[in-house]
Every structure is written in C-alpha cells, then in structure tokens.
Amino acid sequence: MSDATGMQRLLDIMAQLRDPENGCPWDLKQTYQSIAPHTIEEAYEVVDCIERDDIDHLPGEIGDFLFQVVFYAQLGNEEGRFDFKDIVDAICDKLVRRHPHVFADKNFESTEELSKAWEGFKEQERDERAETGVFSDIPNALPAMTRSRKIQARAVRQGFDWRETSQAVAKIDEEFGELKDEIENDGEVERIEHELGDLLFTCVGLARRLKIDPEQALRKANARFMSRFQTMQQLVENNGESFKECSLETMLEYWNKTK
C-alpha cells in the first residue's frame, strides 16, 4: 500500500466515523473545541514516548496525533470551510516560503542570519494576517512555562535582555527575596502568588540564556523525584516498616539514603 493510499484510507475512515447515519455516536458529537484538549494530550504522549526512548511505540503515538489533524480536516470539510488538501497546501507553501535557501537562490552566511530571516518571514506572515504586537501569535493555550519562554524570546529579539548571565542569576536572588519577605510577613495569597510567578518567570529567563528548555528540565525533575520517591518507599518496606505509618522524619531519613 502506498503512502497516498494509506492517507486516503485514514481520511475515509474519519469520514465514516462522522457519517450521520452509520457513524460513531462519540465522534459525531465532537467539535473543534471538544477535540482540542485531546490534541494537546496526544502531542504530549508523542513527546513522552521520545523522552523515554520508546521508539517502538512512537509510530502509534504519532498516528494518534495525526488522527487529530484528520479530525479537524473532516470538521472543516463538513462546514465547507477547508479540507485536508487545504491543510497540506498551507504547510507546503509555508515551508517553501520560509526556506528560500533550499527552494530558491537565497544564500545565508551563517545560522544567525538564517534565524533572523526565519523570524522575518514569521513577522511578515503576522502582518499579512493583520496581527499586531510582538506577542500576538503566541497561543494562550501553551503550557505556561513554554509560553513564558516564547514571550521572553520575542522580547529578546527586540533588544530587551540582560547583557550578562550573572544579571539573570542576580534577578532570581532578588525575586526569591521578595517572595520570602511576603511569606515571612504573612502576606496575602495574591501577593505571594504574584511574587512566586515573578520568580518562575525569571527562572525561565535564566534557562533561555543557558539554552535549556525549562519545560523539559522540569519534566526531567519530575521523573527524578518520582523515581527517588518510589525508591524511598521500597527501602522502607524492605526494612519491614509500613510506609503509610512512616513519620516525615523517617521518610526524610530514607530519602537521604536514595542519593
């Protein structure tokens, strides 16, 4: 079976699932809005598979994500607004337009020049869509940490950035001090939340300067914590103690043994 035939099969299956008479009741009830959370979930499952180096299951996860695209195409087709071909044409045109060094005779002297040109293409596209503002096309639905990184990257391209990494570190110290003061002075929850948000935002800025993806860094920290916590629980139980009845002091003792 050719790739084209396989793609058409998927489109046909999607159309059958949405058939008003013989389709699936669940699929028939779906809208753009109801499908959107599933799209986000499927994207994260693809990323999770990659991070766990589970390449054997990666095609299945990518397939689940592709199904989301096909679902949107079916909804658009039913409304007479767009179809799968329009989606494919849009991305093909965009890729060709943004890569003149590949599909035209444009040459760039460095990766920095190429990066600037790429951002220029995106700005031109925003202008064509009549979007205004530096942050206009950054999706609200992005995870907060990922969105923060994108927001800061846009600001940096406007020249708004620390000159030295040490300044970013000092800013973290400053924000932490302000948060600590609010907590020690029994500040209102809204103020504590405000200061905590500033601290997190500043940490994202430091990660950007260090060329570290903060979202990925936090996911790895989550994984380390879970692994260490499970090891701690196993050590407790191997010692004949009940984990549920452990005091915090006992837990911390075993926690330190997991290092």
The Cα–Cα gap between 7 and 11 comes to 6
Q: Output helix, strand, coil percentages for the chain, rounded to the nearest 5.
A: 75, 0, 25
Instruction: Tell me what percent of the residues of the chain surpass a pLDDT of 90.
Output: 75
Look at residue 125 in the predicted model and tell me its pLDDT: 73
Q: Is the model's pLDDT at 225 over the cut of 60?
A: yes
CATH number of 144-212: 1.10.287.1080
CATH class for domain 3-92? Answer: mainly alpha
Look at residue 106 in the predicted model and tell me its pLDDT: 82
pLDDT (tens digit per residue) in 55-104: 999 999 999 999 999 999 999 999 999 999 999 999 999 999 888 888 88
Look at residue 1 in the predicted model and tell me its pLDDT: 47
pLDDT (tens digit per residue) in 22-41: 999 999 999 999 999 999 99
Domains 3-92 and 144-212 share a fold: yes
What does the DSSP 8-state code read for residue 212? -
Look at residue 169 in the predicted model and tell me its pLDDT: 97
- pLDDT category at 132 given cuts 50, 70, 90 is low
What are all long-range contacts of 34-38, with beta carbons under 8 Å and residues at least 24 apart? 35/68, 35/71, 35/72, 35/75, 36/141, 38/68
- pLDDT category at 121 given cuts 50, 70, 90 is confident
Q: Where are the domains of the chain?
A: 3-92, 99-132, 144-212, 217-257
Token pair for residue 126?
Answer: 């925003």
Residue of 161 and 120 predicted with greater confidence:
161
Look at residue 3 in the predicted model and tell me its pLDDT: 62
* CA 22 from centre of chain: 36
